[in-house]
Amino acid sequence: MLAINLDMVPKIGMLGFVSYKTPWIHFRRTTDEYILYFVRDGELHIHENGIPYVLGRGDLLLLEPGLEHEGLQKHTCDYYYFHFRHPDIRPYPEEDAAALAKRVLLEEKTLAVLDTDLLGKRAVHDANRPGTCYFPKFFSLKNRPMLQQAFRMIEDILMLYERKANKGNLTALRLAELFLELSHEYLMAELHQARGRSSRSFLKVNALLEYLHQHYTEKISSADIEAAFDCNFDYMNRIFKQATGHTIFQYCNRIRINKAKELIQATHLDIGEIGYLVGVDDPYYFSKLFKKMVGLSPMQYYKKVRESPEESGPV
């Protein structure tokens, strides 16, 4: 496992696609850059630093600088390759992959909503690294829709790369986006493969977080949640609070108030209209909820952020 700091984008050396229709074996070499191989068809047999890997369709392997790699057997193979450098990629200590997935996916969704002190469970070495992407050394992408999406993303990246004017920053940003998508899929796959009630419960919490972020502008009832997840609301509420520290509706209201803060900062909309846009129809209740969470009424907050915009963090 490698941790990639995506606050800094990769510097691309070269990338492309090769198709070997007659059996071929990879040559021996040691490079000074990272190389990502992503197999589209066929097989690629290769070892790095004495460790063998067999890649088939949907498999990816991240080779590291300074480590010798060489083919092991001849095979036909179609694969994408990405040569790049990056100033901040580091080995990540081995830990239970499902536990890592729970921590990272929860932070990914709640970081912008919950107070930093409510995320105190984060590991110390990553406490100030929200841009960290956890990337597997070797990974088999089994999810067929995601595999097709990844191939489409790669083809788009190749098209960008071929346009000389876009060879730098745009291509690097799209490659960073690909890393994030693959990392997310890897973590979700680890959760699905993990045995145990806690992993199954977390998958429900993760799906519920997605639901709340998509539907917070609507009136959401306990019956709506039971219908959406075919599950008892009290059970969902209990496991949600265990994971986030908040009940479902407390968290939903935090989303609403944070969105309201954004609208107050960025627009001149009427306070009642802002409440309506974030899913709280009653202006009186919206003002009461806002003051309870922020410590200021919406109008007081409006005046404060206009005077000192740097003091407007999450609820």
| Per-residue pLDDT at 118 | 32
Same domain? 105 vs 220: no
SS3 content of the chain, % helix, strand, coil (to 5): 50, 20, 30
Same domain? 73 vs 23: yes
Same domain? 15 vs 134: yes
Same domain? 51 vs 96: yes
| Per-residue pLDDT at 196 | 63
Same domain? 188 vs 202: no
Same domain? 169 vs 211: no
| Per-residue pLDDT at 129 | 54
Same domain? 183 vs 213: no
Chain segment 223-257, per-residue pLDDT in tens? 999 999 999 999 999 999 988 889 999 999 999 99
What is the count of structural domains for the chain?
Answer: 2
Q: Do residues 3 and 132 touch, judged by C-beta distance below 8 A?
A: yes
Same domain? 158 vs 23: yes
What pLDDT tens digit does each residue of the chain (315 aa) get?
899 999 999 999 999 999 999 999 999 999 999 999 999 999 999 999 999 999 999 999 999 999 999 999 999 999 999 999 999 999 988 667 777 877 887 777 776 676 533 333 344 344 345 578 899 999 999 889 999 999 999 999 999 898 866 556 889 999 999 999 999 899 888 877 776 667 778 889 989 999 999 999 999 999 999 999 999 999 999 999 988 889 999 999 999 999 999 999 999 899 999 999 999 999 999 999 999 999 999 999 998 887 765 555 666
Domain of residue 234, CATH code:
1.10.10.60
Same domain? 168 vs 88: yes
Domain holding 237, by residue range, is: 195-315
Q: Got the DSSP string for 213-258? A: HHHTTS---HHHHHHHHTS-HHHHHHHHHHHHSS-HHHHHHHHHHH
Domain of residue 177, CATH code:
2.60.120.10
Same domain? 129 vs 270: no
Choose one of 167, 194, 221: the last residue of a domain: 194
Task: Give the whole-angstrom CA distance, residue 186 versus residue 174.
Answer: 18
Report how far apart, in Å, the C-alpha atoms of 195 and of each of 186, 198, 288 are: 16, 8, 44
Tell me which H or E stretch contains 21.
strand 11-24
Same domain? 175 vs 200: no
Same domain? 159 vs 240: no
Choose one of 194, 224, 244: the last residue of a domain: 194
| Per-residue pLDDT at 128 | 41
Model confidence, pTM: 0.73
